[in-house]
Structure 1
Amino acid sequence: MAISSEVSALDNPFWSSLRTLHRGIAQTIGEVARYPAEYAPFLGVADADAGVADALDALVAPGEAVYLIGVAPGRVPDGWKIEAYRPLAQMICTSELEVIDGPEIIELTQAHRADVLELTALVYPHYFRPRTMEMGRYFGIYQDGRLAAMVGERMGTETYREMSAICTHPDFNGRGYARRLTAILTNDTLRRGSTPFLHVSHENPRAKGLYEEIGYRHRRDIGFWSLRRG
């Protein structure tokens, strides 16, 4: 199924990304696609009426949980459990942001993977996997020999790019590292011709407030679900 417009692509971001930017790694059967488990536990469906039974059985392992954003199947087969969480805030940025002074920022490579996995385990224990870094570029700030903060790219299409894994080690909170990293990657994304977007929980008002303060605006609330195979 073709993506009708870039606006609808943001309304169904997992499916859109798997059909465009990440189609080379997508595992797709009919109207269902997912990232390999070592990349991310994310699954997308073309629309709520998509036939999913056979595809889910083939794509999701027994006992495995995957996550959906924006669009979920209207019905799931027997033996599957779908759980709706509170919708996330989807935010976008269309103008360059002020970059505050701060420490050197470096591009993170596979040589930094152990440090990245250690940091993200504190903040994104369910979503960041051993090969997530291969989905885009990641950048970080090191202090005292430790990865203090990071930001990266995850989902996307030809004209949209998700800012992701924006996190700071608790020992380095309050220094503006996340603000600096987010602004630099946002501005670079805009200069490359893509519109940055991100997702943040309403239950994380500190992060949501930071994004609003630096220049991101709320586009819409977007549905968020887990789907588990029994």
Structure 2
Amino acid sequence: MNDDDPVLDDPVGRSLAGRHAALARRLGRAATYLDEVASFSAVSTDPDARDWADLAALLGPGAFADLFSCPAVPPSDWEPVFTLEGRQMIWSGGERPDGAGSEPGTGVVELGAESVPEMLDLVRRTEPGPFRPRTHELGTYLGVRVDGALVAMAGERLRPPGWTEISAVCTAPEARGRGHAARLVDALVARVLTRGERPFLHVAEANTGAIALYERLGFKARRPVTFRGFRTP
């Protein structure tokens, strides 16, 4: 698969138009996820005034517009909320990771709707990024339990054609340093590769520890990205 695959330049838009279409709201060429699923929105790759007006109408007045890595900047009456420098990384580690799978004995389990309260609590304590009550519907989410308590998790988020994003990688403070994140990412990578797809992810540029981990697990940088959020007029 081509490292320069253009679908990765618009991962939100391509996901909303494809495998996540059932989880989307659309108006014209603007789209956003259902509120309880995710915060991300998208416009066309060459947005005009009509596209921005449609997105504003879709979200409502004074609403948060999470444009993820969209390079286009909205009109001047959209209030900037945040800007975060990051990088997009793609799997380059071969056919299958060394620690693949969620077989018995690995401590890795699949998480479903019944685990959402624990997942939200773990996200609240570790702040890996946006996560909402129905985010788990975007793909498979895996976790590690110790004495029944959820102490680590990771899952699948954006899914442009041919790719699956690994996201929400987090470990409770009291359980760090035990390799949970590596096992979870390896298990997800194995699942993605089994489907004939390729894993990718996004990470904040300042998170050097996470970048080093992902590099050890077989990921390499594809391009720098800037994450932006705005408030509609």
Q: Which AA in structure 2 matches 1:212?
A: E
- More displaced 10-residue stretch of structure 1: 59-68 or 143-152: 59-68
Hey, what does 1:109 align to over in structure 2? 112
Q: 1:75, 1:172 → 2: CA distance?
A: 41
Hey, what does 1:3 align to over in structure 2? none
- More displaced 10-residue stretch of structure 1: 152-161 or 82-91: 82-91
Q: Which AA in structure 1 matches 2:83?
A: Y
Q: Secondary structure at the match of 1:171?
A: helix
Hey, what does 1:228 align to over in structure 2? 231
Q: 1:145, 1:191 → 2: CA distance?
A: 29
Q: 2:62, 2:180 → 1: CA distance?
A: 38
- More displaced 10-residue stretch of structure 1: 122-131 or 219-228: 122-131
Listed one character per residue, the Cα deviations across residues 38-95 of structure 1 (whole Å, up to 9, x for unaligned) are 11110111124333332123211333212123324344263x2135623311001142
Contact map agreement 1:48 1:74 (CA 8 A) in 2: no
Residue 97 of structure 1 pairs with residue 97 of structure 2: yes
Q: Secondary structure at the match of 1:187?
A: helix
- More displaced 10-residue stretch of structure 1: 97-106 or 118-127: 97-106
In the TM superposition, what is the alpha-carbon distance from 1:134 to its structure 2 partner?
0.9
Residue 18 of structure 1 pairs with residue 21 of structure 2: no
Contact map agreement 1:44 1:72 (CA 8 A) in 2: no
Cα distance 1:138–1:225, how it changes in 2: closer, same or farther (>3 A)?
Answer: same
Contact map agreement 1:11 1:222 (CA 8 A) in 2: no
- Structure 2 gaps, min length 5: none
Q: 1:45, 1:214 → 2: CA distance?
A: 33
Q: 1:16, 1:29 → 2: CA distance?
A: 15
Contact map agreement 2:97 2:217 (CA 8 A) in 1: yes
Matched ranges for 1:21-170 at <5 A = 21-51=19-49, 52-76=51-75, 78=77, 80-82=78-80, 85-94=83-92, 95=94, 96-99=96-99, 103-124=106-127, 127-170=130-173
RMSD between superposed Cα atoms in Å = 2.2
Report the number of matched residues: 225
Q: Secondary structure at the match of 1:17?
A: helix
Q: Secondary structure at the match of 2:66?
A: strand
Residue 172 of structure 1 pairs with residue 171 of structure 2: no
Cα distance 1:81–1:110, how it changes in 2: closer, same or farther (>3 A)?
Answer: same
Cα distance 1:23–1:182, how it changes in 2: closer, same or farther (>3 A)?
Answer: same
Cα distance 1:124–1:45, how it changes in 2: closer, same or farther (>3 A)?
Answer: farther
Hey, what does 1:188 align to over in structure 2? 191
Listed one character per residue, the Cα deviations across residues 155-199 of structure 1 (whole Å, up to 9, x for unaligned) are 102310000111101110000000011011101211110110000
Q: Which AA in structure 2 matches 1:66?
A: A
Q: Secondary structure at the match of 2:5?
A: helix
* TM-score between the two structures when normalised by the length of structure 2: 0.88
Cα distance 1:64–1:75, how it changes in 2: closer, same or farther (>3 A)?
Answer: closer
Q: 2:129, 2:98 → 1: CA distance?
A: 32
Q: Report sequence identity in percent.
A: 35
Q: 2:26, 2:173 → 1: CA distance?
A: 38
Q: Secondary structure at the match of 2:183?
A: helix
Residue 202 of structure 1 pairs with residue 205 of structure 2: yes
Contact map agreement 1:18 1:35 (CA 8 A) in 2: yes
